Amino acid sequence: MSTVKGARARARTEITAAIKDEARRQLAKEGAAKLSLRAVARELGMVSSALYRYFPSRDDLLTALIIDAYDSLGAAAESAQEEVAVAEPLARWTAVCEAVRGWALAHPHEYALIYGSPVPGYTAPQTTVPAAARVGLVLIGIVRDAHEHGGLTVPPLPAELLGEAERMTAELAPGLPPEVGAALVAAWAQLYGLVGFELFGQFNRVVEDREPFFRHAVVRLAHGVGLRPGLPGERA
Amino acid sequence: MSTVKGARARARTEITAAIKDEARRQLAKEGAAKLSLRAVARELGMVSSALYRYFPSRDDLLTALIIDAYDSLGAAAESAQEEVAVAEPLARWTAVCEAVRGWALAHPHEYALIYGSPVPGYTAPQTTVPAAARVGLVLIGIVRDAHEHGGLTVPPLPAELLGEAERMTAELAPGLPPEVGAALVAAWAQLYGLVGFELFGQFNRVVEDREPFFRHAVVRLAHGVGLRPGLPGERA
DNA sequence: CGGGTTGGGAGAGCAGTGCTCTCGTTCGAG
DNA sequence: CTCGAACGAGAGCACTGCTCTCCCAACCCG
User: In chain A, which ranges are continuous DSSP H helix?
Assistant: 7-30, 37-43, 48-51, 58-82, 89-106, 108-115, 128-149, 159-172, 178-199, 210-224
Q: Looking at the C1' of nucleotide C9, which residue has the nearest alpha carbon?
A: B50
Residue B204 has pLDDT above 80, yes or no: yes
Rg (Cα) of chain B, in Å, rounded?
21
Residues 6+ apart with CB under 8 A from A11: none
Once rounded to an integer, what is the mean pLDDT over residues B218-227? 96
Cβ atoms of residues A223 and A186 within 8 Å = no
Q: Is the CB of B58 under 7 A from strand D?
A: yes
Give the pLDDT of residue A45.
Answer: 96
> Which has more confidence, A128 or A165?
A165
B233 CA: distance to closest CA in chain A (Å): 24
Rg (Cα) of chain A, in Å, rounded?
21
Least confident of A38-42, A194-198, A205-209, B151-155: B151-155
Nearest CB among B118, B182, B215 relative to A200 is that of B118
Give the pLDDT of residue B231.
Answer: 46
The mean pLDDT value of chain A amounts to: 92
Once rounded to an integer, what is the mean pLDDT over residues B125-129? 84
* A103–chain B Cβ distance below 8 A for any pair: no
> Which has more confidence, A134 or B118?
A134
Report DSSP letters for B9-29, one per residue: HHHHHHHHHHHHHHHHHHHHH
Q: Do B212 and A161 touch (CB under 8 A)?
A: yes
Alpha-carbon gap, residue B138 to B225, rounded angstroms: 14
Nucleotide showing the shortest C1' distance to residue A11 CA:
D7
Q: Is the CB of A13 under 7 A from strand D?
A: no
State the CB neighbour count (10 A cutoff) for residue B108.
18
Q: Is the CB of B11 under 7 A from strand C?
A: yes
Nucleotide showing the shortest C1' distance to residue B59 CA:
D17
**DSSP E strand boundaries for B124-221:** none
Once rounded to an integer, what is the mean pLDDT over residues B46-62? 97
Q: Which nucleotides of D are covered by protein (CB under 7 A)?
A: 6-12, 15-21, 26-28
Alpha-carbon gap, residue A34 to A11, rounded angstroms: 27
Q: Which residue of B has its CA nearest to A163?
A: B209
Alpha-carbon gap, residue B142 to A92, rounded angstroms: 35
Cβ atoms of residues B210 and B195 within 8 Å = no
Q: Among A221, A205, A116, A114, which Cα is nearest to B186's?
A: A221
Residues 6+ apart with CB under 8 A from B38: B48
Q: How many angstroms is C1' of D20 away from CA of B122?
A: 27
Q: Is the CB of B189 under 7 A from strand D?
A: no
Q: Among A56, A61, A70, which Cα is nearest to A22's?
A: A61
* B224–chain A Cβ distance below 8 A for any pair: yes
Q: Report residue A123's pLDDT band, with 50, 70 and 90 as the boundaries.
A: low
Q: Is the CB of A53 under 7 A from strand D?
A: yes
Length of chain B in residues, anyone?
236
Q: Do B206 and A191 touch (CB under 8 A)?
A: no
Once rounded to an integer, what is the mean pLDDT over residues A64-81? 97
Q: How many angstroms is C1' of D11 away from CA of B59?
A: 33
Residues 6+ apart with CB under 8 A from A82: none
Q: Read off the pLDDT of residues A89-99 as tens digits, 9 standing for 90 and up.
A: 999 999 999 99
Q: Is the CB of A35 under 7 A from strand C?
A: yes
Q: Report residue A143's pLDDT band, with 50, 70 and 90 as the boundaries.
A: very high
Percent of chain A beyond pLDDT 90?
81
Alpha-carbon gap, residue A182 to A165, rounded angstroms: 6
Residue A47 has pLDDT above 60, yes or no: yes
> Which has more confidence, B164 or A149?
B164
The mean pLDDT value of chain B amounts to: 92
Q: Read off the pLDDT of residues B57-101 as tens digits, 9 standing for 90 and up.
A: 999 999 999 999 999 999 999 999 999 999 999 999 999 999 999
Backbone angles phi and psi of B226, in degrees to 5: 105, -5
Nucleotide showing the shortest C1' distance to residue A38 CA:
C17
Q: Report residue A231's pLDDT band, with 50, 70 and 90 as the boundaries.
A: very low
Give the pLDDT of residue B10.
Answer: 87
Distances, alpha carbon A100 to alpha carbons A138, A196, B71, in Å = 11, 11, 32
Q: Which domains does chain B have, with CATH numbers?
A: 1-56 (1.10.10), 66-224 (1.10.357.10)
> Which has more confidence, B11 or B137?
B137
* A112–chain B Cβ distance below 8 A for any pair: yes
Residue A229 has pLDDT above 90, yes or no: no
Q: Is the CB of A7 under 7 A from strand D?
A: no
Cα dihedral sign, A105-A106-A108-A112: negative
* A113–chain B Cβ distance below 8 A for any pair: yes
Cα B188 from chain centroid?
A: 10
Q: Among B23, B108, B14, which Cα is nearest to B63's?
A: B23
Residues 6+ apart with CB under 8 A from A150: A89, A231, A232, A233, A234
Q: Is the CB of A37 under 7 A from strand C?
A: yes
A53 CA: distance to closest CA in chain B (Å): 26
Alpha-carbon gap, residue A93 to A100, rounded angstroms: 11
Q: Report residue A121's pLDDT band, with 50, 70 and 90 as the boundaries.
A: low
Q: Which residue of A has its CA nearest to B154?
A: A220
Percent of chain A beyond pLDDT 70?
92
Give the pLDDT of residue B229.
Answer: 73
Residues of B in Cβ contact (< 8 Å) with A31: 119-121
Could you tell me the maximum CA-CA distance found in chain B, to the nearest angstrom?
Answer: 63
Alpha-carbon gap, residue A73 to A106, rounded angstroms: 11
